[in-house]
């Protein structure tokens, strides 16, 4: 264990034997850090935080701070739960859950760049990539392998589907369906073809997802009508998560941009 002499470790903190804690860090009494974790300078961990192995926390990260919620009771037993093999660059902030027994969650293999903020009860799946200064309000859910552009902002309770790609500087208060490219203000403009290829989706699977996208967005039907039409057709398993995401949306889903750019044709 390598702990700088200026770091403050409160009694009760559960630290693995091979972690590194840099100068002027402050680790609270309810913090658990797994093997291989590295904290650079001035990191603050407070409240109940549970982090797995091989997580990197850059200068100035604040993990487990109280949520920015006027109804929050400081005595509430809530937490931040983090998986393994994540990178949190400088000044990432992650607030703990706002209700007793709730948690803010980051999966494994994620990369959060400078200034990313996760509010209370946000849930990140695995392998999520977030560029600088993106802001996620309370209860936002982000699916596996999503890529979020810098400076994007997300309203509370919305969902970002698996393998979605979001352009930088965008803002959203509606759900972003899986496999889609989204930008500007609550719009999508096609399928994340490159992301699907990198994730190992076959040509047939990609074609099926494109067909599902066209059924929802390019038939001139509203969402209810498009889902009804889709239910009468036979689909490969890869398309079902797309329709299930739409069916389960509570805030509504992003619309197709009026200045639609034709998505890349597959070779």
Residues 178, 183, 187: CA angle, nearest 5 degrees: 70
257 confidence band (pLDDT: 50, 70, 90): confident
Residue located via tokens 């093999």: 85
Query: Nearest to residue 145, comparing CAs of 108, 182, 186, 188?
Result: 108
What is the share, in percent, of the chain residues with pLDDT greater than 70? 96
pLDDT at 266 over 70: no
Cβ atoms of 56 and 74 closer than 8 Å: no
Q: What is the pLDDT of residue 1?
A: 83
150-187 as b/e, with b when 16 or more CB fall inside 10 Å?
Answer: bbbebbeebbbbbbbbbbeebebbbbbbbbbbbbeebb
Label residue 258 by pLDDT band (50, 70, 90).
low
Give residues with Cβ within 8 angstroms of 160, minimum separation 6: 140, 141, 142, 143, 146, 148, 154, 166, 175, 176
Name the residue among 170, 80, 173 with its Cα closest to residue 118: 80
Own/partner pairs, 119-126, CB within 8 angstroms, 24+ separation:
119/67, 119/68, 119/95, 119/156, 120/67, 120/68, 120/69, 120/72, 120/78, 120/95, 120/96, 121/67, 121/97, 122/94, 125/162, 126/83
**How does the average pLDDT of the chain come out, rounded?**
95
Token representation of residue 210:
């494109």
User: What would the pLDDT profile of 94-148 be if each residue is shown by its tens digit?
Assistant: 999 999 999 999 999 999 999 999 999 999 999 999 999 999 999 999 999 999 9
Question: Is residue 264 predicted with pLDDT exceeding 70?
Answer: no
Question: What DSSP state is assigned to residue 185?
Answer: B
- Give the per-residue pLDDT at 73: 96
> For residue 267, what pLDDT band results from cuts at 50, 70 and 90?
very low
Q: What is the chain's alpha carbon radius of gyration, rounded to the nearest angstrom?
A: 20
Give the H or E element holding residue 49.
strand 48-51
pLDDT at residue 263 greater than cutoff 80: no
Measured CA to CA, the distance from residue 130 to residue 85 in angstroms comes to 15
User: In terms of Cα–Cα distance, which of 52, 41, 10, 7 is closest to 28?
Assistant: 10
Give the whole-number percent of the chain exceeding pLDDT 90. Answer: 95
Least confident piece of the model among 184-188, 252-256, 260-264: 260-264
């Amino acid at each position: 264990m390598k702990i700088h002499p200026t770091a403050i470790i409160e009694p009760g903190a559960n630290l693995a034997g091979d972690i590194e804690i840099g100068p002027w860090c402050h680790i609270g009494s309810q913090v658990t850090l797994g093997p291989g974790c590295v904290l650079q300078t001035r990191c603050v961990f407070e409240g109940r935080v549970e982090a797995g192995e091989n997580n990197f926390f850059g200068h100035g990260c604040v993990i487990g701070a109280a949520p920015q919620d006027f109804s929050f009771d400081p005595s509430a037993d809530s937490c931040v739960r983090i998986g393994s093999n994540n990178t949190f660059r400088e000044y990432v902030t992650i607030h703990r859950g706002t209700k007793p027994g709730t948690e803010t969650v980051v999966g494994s293999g994620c990369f959060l760049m400078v200034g990313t903020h996760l509010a209370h009860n946000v849930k990140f799946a695995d392998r999520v990539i977030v560029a600088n200064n993106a802001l996620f309000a309370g209860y936002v859910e982000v699916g596996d392998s999503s890529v979020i552009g810098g400076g994007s902002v997300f309203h509370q309770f919305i969902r970002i589907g698996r393998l979605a790609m979001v352009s930088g500087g965008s803002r959203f208060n509606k759900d972003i369906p899986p496999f889609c490219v989204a930008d500007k203000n609550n719009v999508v403009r096609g399928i994340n073809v490159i992301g699907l290829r990198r994730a190992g989706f076959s040509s047939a699977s990609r074609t099926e997802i494109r067909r599902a996208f066209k059924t929802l967005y390019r038939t001139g039907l509203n969402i209810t009508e498009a889902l009804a039409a889709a239910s009468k057709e036979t689909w490969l398993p890869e398309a079902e998560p797309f329709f299930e995401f739409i069916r389960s949306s509570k805030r509504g889903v992003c619309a197709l941009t009026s200045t639609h750019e034709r998505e890349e044709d597959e070779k």
